[in-house]
Structure 1
Amino acid sequence: MTGTRTDELARLAELHGVAVSYRPAPDRTVTVPDSAVVAALHALGVDATTPEAVRAALADRERALRERLLPPTVVHWAGDPHDPAALTALPPRTRVRIETEAGEESYRVSAPLVAGLPLGVHRVTATAPDGRTAHAHLVVAPDRLPAPPGRSYGLLVQLYSLLSRRSWGMGDLGDLAELAGWAGRVAGAGFVQVNPLHSAVPGAPTDPSPYRPSSRRFPDPVHLRVEDVPEYTYAEDRERLAGLLERAARLRAAVLDKGALIDRDAVWELKREALETVLAVPLGPGRRAAYDAFRAAHGQALDDHATYYALAETHGPDWTTWPDGLRDPRSAATARARAELADRVAFHTRLAWLTDGQLRAAQRTAREAGMPVGIVHDLAVGVHPAGADSWAQQDVFAAGMSVGAPPDAFNARGQDWGLPPWRPDRLAACGYAPFRELLRALFRYAGALRIDHVMGLFRLWWIPQGSPPTEGTYVHYDAEAMLAVLALEAGRAGSVVIGEDLGTVEPGVRETLQRRGVLGTSVLWFERDWTGDGRPLPPERWRADCLATATTHDLPPTVARLTGDHVELRDRLGLLTRPAAEERAEAVADVTEWLALLDGLGLVDSVGPADSVGLADSVGPVGSPGPVGSTATGPPGADEEAEVRAVHRFLLRTPARLIGVWLPDGVGDRRPQNLPGTCAEYPNWRLPIADREGRAVPLEELTAAPRLRALLEVFAQLREG
């Protein structure tokens, strides 16, 4: 559609939740291109390519809304004594039949219609006196999500970076259990938060980012500790396994002792070969019963997942290039291929079961070690467009669209994350079944769940394929329904939910999340009085319902922020958008303000001036040029560690319910795990935890490091209750 936007197009977009403008700041409104609006509507099955098509689609939509008895999904919060508005708006004498999750039926005519219903997703059928009938899903959810059991602190770590002397070249679930056991019993930590452990796209090289997985529903078997699989002991080909262990030891030594990057593909090649041998061992009766129960619990979703990976072994990982019949998971060709590849389908099904078992074992270890929360898992925003979930659930994904972010103060070009979005209309039509099943699977082994870009429950920035991120638009979701499903599944599991709500957030979103019990995320360097003088926000003014941290996986480690290494790194890689001197000066001013506040609160240890390496002690260039991953310059000193401890003492002074400690901060690591805006320029998602000299630190040394222990001693009062 060309020409000036019509009122009809704007109205049509509004009725389908597609924005025609947005406000990046209270005093600024940006109009989105018509092309983005038309493309988003097309992805929702609405033709808006001509004025005539717009008028016809608008008339159809208005008529459908006017004549419908019920929306596809209705929400009722258990603490509300009133019926949902959608039910109170039914015509008088409408007969309502409600079938609960448990299969019980009841018939109701007069209000209240939902009184006494149990929590769950029920089926409602409304029959009006004029004969019209409508069906809807009724989500009855608890008023709030579970709250953290008291106040606690925990460790934040990217699992692949946490190598031990037993892992096969990258951190695994055995390492996670070891860390949780130590952190709970010795350090008094309440949780360990890890990166998404979702299944990666198969093949080599695979995308190393844990935030662009093939599937969010099932975990990646690359994280398995092979030796912990019970059948490992009984595998017949011991010589083959011994050879694989030797190769794994060389791969591990290359990372821990020789400075090599983590090679996920090489690790998986070894583990896959070992698991082929281990899974040849028949399951005992008890194990077989547990496996069958897992298969029954996950049903078609598990079958589709395993089928995708079996087909990918033959046809490659991109299902959009497969033969026509195989692109449809419900086709006769796919059914035949599934039968022909039954052994490979069974192999990948077993892998999903084994990984789920080790994840649940890690959570048990954490809780047995005294952690009130345990393992905090991470839910990525979306999935790879060519992966398992996008193949199996094509009906709920918006074809031709990608999720990202509009231009903002941090990225003038916007961002395209390459993730297909869910269609809000299809989600509502099926009662949010894909979202419910996803959450239920994750909560099997999560003491808490962090939701990346939690604002996506409300709206997502849709970008038409082939267009730059600047030419997208926001598409809104039924946030009440999404939150109700989240509250229902989290409540059933007794799990806490943390929303990553950093950056530009639509007005009212944080308040809604807080009201429903979703914790926010507060990072020290961003907490300023933005409505006042812009100075660092004192601890007593921080929100309580949040996870408070000094950094994240996408930000510089605390030492790099304090010393200015993050500016030097970005300068070396050509990522600065203004002169390096200006960047350095701003970094100096920022850290100087924070250190002044910390010092004024008496949080900084007393150290000698000769030991100082803090950025605030110099306004000149910090660090020296060097290769990617090189360490900061300056003599080792106590001031660096003292300032890191002061930062965490400050976090302890806030009312935050949860406090996170970036584990690499405990050994002086300077390198971010991910440097946004880079791909080949920086080894994102491939760095082991290292000390201030860049030497990889294995788990065994990490837990004994005096620097880490001194940092965690800051939280002694939490350990003592």
Structure 2
Amino acid sequence: MTQQLLQQLVEMRGIETRYVDAWGKPATIAESSKAKLLNVLGYDTSNDEIIQSQIAQDIQSVWLSPLNPVQVVRSAESINLAVRLPIELVNDDHVLTVTCESGETLTHTFTPVDQEMTTMAHIDEVEFHEYIVSLPFTLPLGYHNVVLTADDDQLGVSRIIVAPQACYTPDPIKAGKKIWGLSVQLYCLRSEKNWGIGDFSDLALLIEKSASVGADFIGLNPIHALYPANPNACSPYGPSSRRWLNYLYIDVTAVEGYEDDSVKAVVGSDEFINTLEHARQVEHVDYEAVAHIKLAALKAVFEVYDAKYLRKNTKQNKAFKAFVEAGGESLDMLAVYDALQSHLKAQGKDSWGWPVFPKEFKDYHNPAVAKFKKANSQEVKFYLFLQWIAAEQLETASNKATEAGMTIGLYRDLAVGVSEGSAEIWGNKDLYCTDASVGAPPDILGPLGQNWGLPPMDPRKLYKQGYQPIIDLFASNMASSGSLRIDHVMALLRLWWVVKGDNAKDGGYIYYPVDDLLGILALESHRNQSLVIGEDLGTVPEEIRSKLADNGVYSYRVFFFEQAEDGGFFSPSHYPVQSMSTLTTHDMPTLIGYWHCLDLELGKDIGLYPTEEILQTLYADRHENKQAILDTLHGHGSIGEHVGRDVNHTGMNRDLNCGMQVHMAGGSSALLSLQLEDWLEMDKPVNIPGTFDEYPNWRRKLTQNIESMFERQDINELASKLTQARKNASNS
């Protein structure tokens, strides 16, 4: 009986027991994994009676809710609401009052028994009926509140989200324009002025320089808030909050108040000057050093700014207060978290994240946290100030792109989750399953599977919260940009959950309400005029690809993964138009690194390959792939005859490097993204997946300043060729 009951619960909670793996073979999750996944979702699976009771409770909770928490409909659809009522009420008049986002109120009076009945149930010996009520009016795009009443008694509330059919695409791209841009990890940027890490002023300069040579966008790594008190937790894909920004990207010298004598005293000290010089000179970002000097300078600037503007009735104070009010609980949560973590660290306490905070501080909603916030209001205000300044500087950079006439401007990157010790989880534990982590099942690149250490959202809790957390995520990450790349876009359909302590291969897929989430994505995309790119690599069912395409989400095509069964590489002219193509990504070697097998050499040195046999197989595959690439490039006339045809005698050089990039530019993808590292012919990767401290991930800087980079003739010639190739592709 237990397995049958477990299976019923598994189906109710959207746990997928069978899937097709990366090799195209059917796979099944273990029986033990089903029970473990249900456990992390909050269920007790110890015996039949308890399981049956929980199934009954789940069913009962639905029937005792007259309205669903939220309903997403597309603009062309009629709005049909499910209404559940006990039988004694079904002959009474009921009113559905819809308050539109604009404030307009619409009402519909109905008698349940006159509507279409879909099903019925008995709960505690009371008979309940479910009816479908069709609203006799259309609603505009947006978020609308619904209240169900009878005899002026409120019976239930709901939310209707009306979404467009598909995500936004800028008119020039819709008309066939093909564009190119540069992808960059913002922290990697070097400039004559920055403090050892790329900042928003560098970004504005890069936009200006790139636009002048034909680029239509700059793609960024996730710029989410990390941990001011723990700067070495520097992975942009393991943030503290995905709604807010990494303060390290603030250009301190551009903040009003920097020229004050009190600030000059801080930044003019010998210790500060020496640390700044070190931070600028080192090959890898020294996050400890950068955080040390930026926090010191920003605190000094804040004191000046606060005294001058934020304690008085000034326009600056009004703008600051409006920002804080709009940020709501989410912003307050982050500022309090950052202040608290800093406070605990100063006391010498373990403070990497809320799981190790003292008991009274383990939850944002605890009384002790409110007491701490009140006692440390100035410190909390400082962290609110940092977010305000960061948002303003990002917007300034984005405006540069608009002024320069870029078709897209900035495109931002939304990470798949937040790390376990994050502020986002600290403030909404009910939403997250902290005993599990997001990852990936075994595939070609990761035969043991992957565990990313990011606790997943519970899809049912997300639904009960009216999808507000996901709405906020999409909206905040589309701000000050023209496009959003969603890392692991499969998360909208399903996520591979790994229970804490288990191997990644022993996980299972949990389904999410993909159609609802895509509707919200489309709505926010139009509101923010943001094109959406979905990173659809890895184990991806074909049906989700077509669903994403139908919803206007652009696919993500990586040259090295676009291979036919015979080993040849597909021509970029065969890529979908509705896609962004690229040669490499932040998780892959640079072009030189790939061609000279430096990634395999590095992997061997740090122990990534268990046996010499595996390594030799990888070398052999690489050799074959490189020959196939040469054949493709010569076959399409993308490189001249002076570049060799035989891989045994052809190393990576500037002509081959540029030839590969121009080859991609002639393709059919609407968007082409290229890495600055390949423009600079760099050989070291920015990240090696599957490593922790074996390699300095997320730290390696570019080898040249922005200012000098665009003075190089070879770079300007490459940019000109890319622009021409894109024009030719647009006209073909």
Same fold (TM over 0.5): yes
Q: Measured at CA, do residues 491 and 205 of structure 1 come closer, stay the same or move farther in structure 2, by a change above 3 Å?
A: closer
Residue number in structure 2 paired with 1:139 = 161
Amino acid at match of 1:596: D
Deviation at 1:205, TM superposition (A): 5.4
Deviation at 1:589, TM superposition (A): 0.9
Q: Describe the superposition over 1:654-705 as per-residue Cα deviations: whole angstroms up to 9, x where unpaired.
A: 211110011110011111110112222211111111xxxxxx2222222223
User: Residue 38 of structure 2 is aligned with which of 38, 41, 58?
Assistant: 41
Please tell me whether the aligned partners of residues 378 and 450 of structure 1 are also in contact (alpha carbons under 8 angstroms): yes
User: Residue 52 of structure 1 is aligned with which of 49, 52, 59?
Assistant: 49
Please tell me whether the aligned partners of residues 22 and 444 of structure 2 are also in contact (alpha carbons under 8 angstroms): no
Amino acid at match of 2:184: V
The answer to which of 395-404 and 355-364 deviates more is 395-404
Deviation at 1:560, TM superposition (A): 2.1
Please tell me whether the aligned partners of residues 200 and 206 of structure 1 are also in contact (alpha carbons under 8 angstroms): no
Q: Describe the superposition over 1:7-52 as per-residue Cα deviations: whole angstroms up to 9, x where unpaired.
A: 2211211111122332215853322233332232233333223222
Please tell me whether the aligned partners of residues 168 and 251 of structure 1 are also in contact (alpha carbons under 8 angstroms): no
User: Residue 140 of structure 2 is aligned with which of 118, 142, 146?
Assistant: 118
Deviation at 1:719, TM superposition (A): 6.9
Amino acid at match of 1:400: D
Q: Does 1:175 align with 2:202?
A: yes
User: Residue 503 of structure 1 is aligned with which of 523, 538, 547?
Assistant: 538
SS where residue 463 of structure 1 aligns? strand
Residue number in structure 1 paired with 2:70 = 73
Aligned pairs for 1:279-298 (under 5 A) are: 279-281=302-304, 282-284=307-309, 285-298=314-327
Amino acid at match of 1:418: G
The answer to which of 504-513 and 647-656 deviates more is 647-656
Q: Does 1:190 align with 2:203?
A: no
Deviation at 1:226, TM superposition (A): 0.5
CA distance in 2, matches of 1:33, 1:581: 33
| TM-score calculated relative to the size of structure 1 | 0.89
User: Residue 401 of structure 2 is aligned with which of 339, 353, 366?
Assistant: 366
Deviation at 1:412, TM superposition (A): 1.8
Aligned pairs for 1:243-262 (under 5 A) are: 243=269, 246-247=273-274, 249-255=276-282, 260-262=283-285
Q: Measured at CA, do residues 320 and 581 of structure 1 come closer, stay the same or move farther in structure 2, by a change above 3 Å?
A: closer
Deviation at 1:712, TM superposition (A): 1.7
Deviation at 1:229, TM superposition (A): 0.6
Residue number in structure 1 paired with 2:666 = 653
SS where residue 118 of structure 1 aligns? coil
CA distance in 2, matches of 1:214, 1:161: 20
SS where residue 394 of structure 1 aligns? coil
Amino acid at match of 1:308: Y
CA distance in 2, matches of 1:406, 1:20: 13
CA distance in 2, matches of 1:263, 1:199: 18
Residue number in structure 2 paired with 1:667 = 680
Residue number in structure 2 paired with 1:546 = 579
Deviation at 1:178, TM superposition (A): 0.4
Amino acid at match of 1:264: Y
Residue number in structure 2 paired with 1:98 = 98
Deviation at 1:66, TM superposition (A): 6.3
Residue number in structure 2 paired with 1:273 = 296
Deviation at 1:169, TM superposition (A): 0.9
Q: Describe the superposition over 1:627-678 as per-residue Cα deviations: whole angstroms up to 9, x where unpaired.
A: xxxxxxx7xxxx6222222222222222111100111100111111101122
CA distance in 2, matches of 1:369, 1:248: 36
Amino acid at match of 2:583: A
SS where residue 653 of structure 2 aligns? helix
Q: Does 1:14 align with 2:37?
A: no
SS where residue 590 of structure 1 aligns? helix
The answer to which of 336-345 and 703-712 deviates more is 703-712
CA distance in 1, matches of 2:315, 2:65: 51
Q: Measured at CA, do residues 6 and 205 of structure 1 come closer, stay the same or move farther in structure 2, by a change above 3 Å?
A: same
Residue number in structure 2 paired with 1:642 = 655
Q: Which blocks of at least 5 consecutive residues in structure 1 are unaligned? A: 623-633, 690-695
Q: Measured at CA, do residues 360 and 114 of structure 1 come closer, stay the same or move farther in structure 2, by a change above 3 Å?
A: farther
SS where residue 416 of structure 1 aligns? strand
Deviation at 1:287, TM superposition (A): 1.9
Q: Describe the superposition over 1:399-425 as per-residue Cα deviations: whole angstroms up to 9, x where unpaired.
A: 311111111222121111111111111
Q: Does 1:83 align with 2:79?
A: yes
Q: Does 1:206 align with 2:238?
A: no
Please tell me whether the aligned partners of residues 554 and 675 of structure 1 are also in contact (alpha carbons under 8 angstroms): yes
Q: Measured at CA, do residues 442 and 283 of structure 1 come closer, stay the same or move farther in structure 2, by a change above 3 Å?
A: farther
Residue number in structure 1 paired with 2:129 = none
CA distance in 2, matches of 1:119, 1:88: 26
CA distance in 1, matches of 2:705, 2:71: 51
Deviation at 1:128, TM superposition (A): 9.0
Residue number in structure 2 paired with 1:512 = 547
Residue number in structure 1 paired with 2:257 = 231
Residue number in structure 2 paired with 1:575 = 608
The answer to which of 49-58 and 462-471 deviates more is 49-58
Deviation at 1:267, TM superposition (A): 0.3
Aligned residues: 681
Q: Describe the superposition over 1:377-400 as per-residue Cα deviations: whole angstroms up to 9, x where unpaired.
A: 111111111121111121211131
| TM-score calculated relative to the size of structure 2 | 0.88
Q: Measured at CA, do residues 377 and 287 of structure 1 come closer, stay the same or move farther in structure 2, by a change above 3 Å?
A: same
Q: Does 1:379 align with 2:390?
A: no
CA distance in 2, matches of 1:489, 1:87: 28
CA distance in 1, matches of 2:502, 2:308: 51
Q: Does 1:709 align with 2:732?
A: no
Aligned pairs for 1:522-537 (under 5 A) are: 522-529=557-564, 533=566, 535-537=568-570
User: Residue 617 of structure 1 is aligned with which of 641, 647, 650?
Assistant: 647
The answer to which of 53-62 and 5-14 deviates more is 53-62
CA distance in 2, matches of 1:158, 1:266: 19
Deviation at 1:448, TM superposition (A): 1.1
CA distance in 1, matches of 2:719, 2:84: 55
CA distance in 1, matches of 2:517, 2:536: 16
Q: Measured at CA, do residues 677 and 322 of structure 1 come closer, stay the same or move farther in structure 2, by a change above 3 Å?
A: closer
SS where residue 46 of structure 1 aligns? coil
CA distance in 2, matches of 1:328, 1:78: 40
Q: Measured at CA, do residues 88 and 340 of structure 1 come closer, stay the same or move farther in structure 2, by a change above 3 Å?
A: closer
CA distance in 2, matches of 1:102, 1:712: 46
Please tell me whether the aligned partners of residues 10 and 20 of structure 1 are also in contact (alpha carbons under 8 angstroms): no
SS where residue 121 of structure 1 aligns? strand
CA distance in 2, matches of 1:202, 1:239: 23
SS where residue 395 of structure 1 aligns? coil
Residue number in structure 2 paired with 1:693 = none
Amino acid at match of 2:480: Y
Please tell me whether the aligned partners of residues 230 and 352 of structure 2 are also in contact (alpha carbons under 8 angstroms): no
Q: Measured at CA, do residues 70 and 644 of structure 1 come closer, stay the same or move farther in structure 2, by a change above 3 Å?
A: farther
User: Residue 311 of structure 1 is aligned with which of 322, 340, 359?
Assistant: 340
SS where residue 21 of structure 2 aligns? strand
CA distance in 2, matches of 1:109, 1:647: 65
The answer to which of 115-124 and 20-29 deviates more is 20-29
Q: Measured at CA, do residues 287 and 567 of structure 1 come closer, stay the same or move farther in structure 2, by a change above 3 Å?
A: same
Q: Measured at CA, do residues 84 and 645 of structure 1 come closer, stay the same or move farther in structure 2, by a change above 3 Å?
A: farther
